[in-house]
DNA sequence: GTGAACATGTAAACAGTTACATGATTCT
DNA sequence: AGAATCATGTAACTGTTTACATGTTCAC
């Protein structure tokens, strides 16, 4: 039994649903296509597993936000979803709500802090590994940037926003890389002093 | 019934438990004190509600990682926890494990992306609000920095790590601020052009 | 003695992850 | 015909948040 009748319930965030709505407005898609597209453009600021996506799509269909496209060649189990009017209204309503900046949850920072107390230099290799991972991410983002936005028209509002979202991804990766390249050598020095 | 016998189960992350262990090594504390300390130093890279903290502390006590200090003046319901040998071993083991950089989950980016598709300038006020929030965070972090680390000894390894963790918080906030101060004026221009 | 801050807890809902199964399509 | 990839799903679990209750301590 629910603690609260629905009319008293807080509106939950459900960002994933709204990411999917946005994606589906761009182009009606199957769950699989959405999952694949997440791995690229949208993935770096809101990712999801295929399981989450299918569950969310079913839920949204039940609410009437989206519907399945009856394709001419509807062979197999493939279901292509499209956004309904209700979905557009929901997205527009949600869009103007207020929220908080995300809470950071960086496991490696927890490890580093633990090491500060316990001693040893056991987190150094992990920091180096993360430096490589962040460099890889940066390269991927920069590749997309030069492919899609290098010479794009900044007067096209939609395109400009997409570009700046990617730019933020690049900026944050650069921040991590610079920080790691500052911290790692200093920790190596400490290791040598022993 | 569990899908897997315990000896086949994946080791879960449980970062929160290890954050608490680290905090308790620094100083035996009550759940309430831990929650309050989270709001300061550690909070920006791993936060938790009081509820989560109490649940986790109970769990860790059952596992023998921590124990309650039998205080002389053990009045009221206050329980002061301290780390046991088992807890230190657990933390040391966990510390050297590998992990992934955190997945970003920024709601405001979802809204911005939605707006890129739906149009309107309804997300602008929210971007401005976030700029203010990030500036506030930056100020808090910089205040702690100048208070605790400005003239600290960089040859003290523990202190240096604490300083760099805070530095990362500052760097990331600066990244957001710079990005927002670039994007907001451009979106305002678009708004005027209409 | 009353109100604010301290301190802990139960219950429930919500959000995200992992394991596993299985059928359809396409390429060789 | 077999392998790889496309595509969807059930089940269970872990992790996080919210609502609410309740008792303690301390200052006025």
pLDDT surpasses 70 at A1: no
pLDDT given at position A104: 87
Of all residues in chain A, the percent with pLDDT exceeding 90 is 70
Over 60: is that where the pLDDT of A194 sits?
yes
CA distance A127 to A31: 35
pLDDT computed for residue B74 by the predictor: 55
Average pLDDT, chain A: 87
- Would you place residue A138 in the very low, low, confident or very high pLDDT band (cuts 50, 70, 90)? very high
Residue-wise pLDDT tens digits, A71-106: 655 566 789 999 999 999 999 999 999 998 988 889
Is any atom of nucleic acid chain C found less than 7 Å from the CB of residue A101? no
pLDDT at A120 over 90: no
Chain A from 121 to 180: CB within 8 A of any B CB: 122-123, 126, 129-130, 133-134, 137, 154, 157-158, 160-162, 164-165, 167-169, 171-172, 174-176, 178-179
pLDDT tier at A8 (50, 70, 90 boundaries)?
Answer: very low
H or E stretch covering A82: strand A80-83
Q: How confident is the model at residue A12 (pLDDT cuts 50, 70, 90)?
A: low
Q: Which of A79-88, A163-172, A180-189, B69-78 has the lowest mean pLDDT?
A: B69-78
CA distance, residue B7 to nearest chain A CA (Å): 24
Choose from A39, A105, A148, A176 for mutation: most chain B CBs within 10 A: A105
Average pLDDT value for chain B: 87
Residue pLDDT, tens place only, B8-25: 333 457 889 999 999 999
The packing angle between helices B85-95 and B15-26, to 10°, is: 120
Contacts of B64 (CB under 8 A, 6+ apart): B84, B86, B87
Q: Tell me the pLDDT tens digit for each residue of B49-86.
A: 999 999 999 999 999 999 998 765 555 678 899 999 99
Residue with tokens 């990331």: B172
Q: Whole-angstrom Cα distance, residue B185 to residue B187? A: 5
Distance, angstroms, CA A21 to C1' D21?
A: 39
Whole-angstrom Cα distance, residue A14 to residue A93?
Answer: 13
pLDDT of residue A10: 37
How far, in Å, CA of A113 to CA of B95, rounded? Answer: 9
Listed as ranges, residues in chain B with pLDDT below 50 are: 1-11
How many Cβ atoms sit within 10 Å of the Cβ of residue A151?
6
* Distance, CA of B6 to CA of A194 (rounded, Å): 40
| Three state DSSP letters for chain B | CCCCCHHHCCCCCCHHHHHHHHHHHHCCECHHHHHHHHCCCHHHCCCCCHHHHHHHHHHHHHHCCEEEECCCCCCCCCCEEEECHHHHHHHHHHHCCCCCCCCCCCHHHHHHHHHHHHCCCCCHHHHHHHHHHHHHHHHHHHHHHHHHCCCCCCCCHHHHHHHHHHHHHHHHHHHHHHHHHHHHHHHHHHHHHC
Residues on chain B touching A115 (C-beta within 8 angstroms): 95, 161
Q: Are B15 and B99 in contact (CB under 8 A)?
A: no
Tell me the chain B residues in contact with residue A168 when contact means C-beta distances shorter than 8 Å. 109, 179
> Who among residues 32-71 of B has its Cβ near strand D, under 7 Å?
47-49, 51-52, 55
**What 8-state DSSP symbol labels residue A12?**
P
- Asked whether A81 and A28 are in contact (CB, 8 A), the reply is yes
Q: What is the CA radius of gyration of chain A?
A: 22
Q: β-pairing, B66-69 with A80-83?
A: unpaired
Q: How many CB pairs below 8 Å do chains A and B form together? A: 198
């Amino acid at each position: 039994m629910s603690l609260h009748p629905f009319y008293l319930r807080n509106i939950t965030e459900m960002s994933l649903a709204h990411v999917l709505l946005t994606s589906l407005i761009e182009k009606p898609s199957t769950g699989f296509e959405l999952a694949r597209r997440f791995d690229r453009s949208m993935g770096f600021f809101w990712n999801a597993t295929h399981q989450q996506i299918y569950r969310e799509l079913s839920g949204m269909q039940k609410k009437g936000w989206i519907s399945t496209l009856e394709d001419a060649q509807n062979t197999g189990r493939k279901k292509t979803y499209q956004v309904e009017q209700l979905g557009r209204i929901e997205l527009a309503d949600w869009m103007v709500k207020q929220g908080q900046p995300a809470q950071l949850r960086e496991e490696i920072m927890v490890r580093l802090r633990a090491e500060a107390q316990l001693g040893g230099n056991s987190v150094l290799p992990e920091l180096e590994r993360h430096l490589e991972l962040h460099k890889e991410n940066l390269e991927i983002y920069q590749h997309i940037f030069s492919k899609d936005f290098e010479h794009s028209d900044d007067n096209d509002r939609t395109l400009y926003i997409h570009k700046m979202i990617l730019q933020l991804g690049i900026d944050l990766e650069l921040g991590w890389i610079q920080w790691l390249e500052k911290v790692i050598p200093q920790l190596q020095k400490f290791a040598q002093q022993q």
